[in-house]
Amino acid sequence: MLTIGKLATLLGMTVDTLRFYEREGLLAPASKSEGGYRLYDEDSVVRLRFIKQARDCGFTLGEIEQLLVLRGQSEACCGDVRRRAIEKKLQLEGKIRALAAMSKALDHLIADCSNETHPIDGCPILAALEKATTSSDVEGNK
Amino acid sequence: MKIELFYAPGCDKCAANRENLKAAASEHVPDVEWCELNVLDHMEYAVDLGVLTLPAIAIDGVLEFPSLPKVKQFADAIARKAASLERS
């Protein structure tokens, strides 16, 4: 049995993170010591490794909770989990595309500002950002 | 009218009602082109259309149902679309 501090050290997490997971219902102590300290078993270690890996793959805590529920359902099948993984990939691919578009927009702004010694009040990047904000405000007010 | 259903192999939710939806499509739109796309083989296209959950249905290249519709809801939508296409 491990205390929360030992569990956090073992998994390279902070005690605050584990307490947060506990408040969110993702983790529960297996028992309590005579002194009232919460104690965690091997199942908690496995569960936390699962949470950590799923977080690294981009799953939200809500989605991880659903995956943990599926993991405990004998009638669930691999297809349910696979579908969720594919949906996460679709979301990530969409985000990657949006980030690439942002990066490209920055390329244009950077290219427009070829003179780095130019005074700040004539900075083409700031001017372009200002212009973009103004035009989107106008569009938003239509 | 072209209807594209994005699915994942082995996904029970994707298989549910698939035949009923296909039958509804044929009933309301006689010349319907029904396509079932494995999202893993069409990831780029699915991302283009904004597919985020499965199954999803696109009509004429537009994502109309981001999640599985009820058969009646689907039938009503394609009947409306077919009527508006006929008018134009």
**For chain B, which domains are there?**
2-87 (3.40.30.10)
State the pLDDT at residue B14.
Answer: 84
CA dihedral sign of residues B39, B45, B47, B53: negative
Q: Chain A: give the shortest CA distance to residue B45, in Å.
A: 11
State the pLDDT at residue A55.
Answer: 94
| A contact residues 33-92, partner B, Cβ 8 Å cutoff | 77-80, 82-83, 86-87, 89-91
**Facing residue for B12 by CB, picked from A80, A89, A94:** A80
For the stretch B48-76, pLDDT in tens is 999 999 999 999 999 999 988 999 999 99
Whole-angstrom distance, CA of residue A45 vs CA of residue B47: 36
Give me the residues of chain A with pLDDT under 70, please.
132-142
- Please answer whether residues B51 and A85 qualify as being in contact, where contact means their C-beta atoms are separated by less than 8 angstroms: no
- Residue A3, burial from CB neighbour count under 10 angstroms (0-12, 13-18, 19+): middle
Q: Is A41 helix (H, G, I), strand (E, B) or coil?
A: coil
To the question of pTM greater than 0.80 for the whole model, the response is: no
Of A11, A13, A9, A3, which is closest to residue A40 (Cα–Cα)?
A3
State the pLDDT at residue B47.
Answer: 96
| CB < 8 Å to B39, chain A | 86, 90
B13 to chain A: closest CA residue = A80
Contact status of A134 with chain B (Cβ, < 8 Å): no
Other C-beta atoms closer than 10 Å to the C-beta of B86 total 7
| Residues of chain B with a CB closer than 8 angstroms to some CB in chain A | 8-14, 39-40, 43, 46-47, 50-54
State the pLDDT at residue A135.
Answer: 56
The rounded mean pLDDT for chain B is 91
B7 forms bridges with which residues in the sheet? B38
Q: What is the ipTM of this complex?
A: 0.85
Instruction: Name which residue leads in pLDDT, A58 or B87.
Output: A58
Q: Are strands B33-38 and B2-7 parallel, antiparallel or unpaired?
A: parallel
Whole-angstrom distance, CA of residue A40 vs CA of residue A133: 52
DSSP A142: -
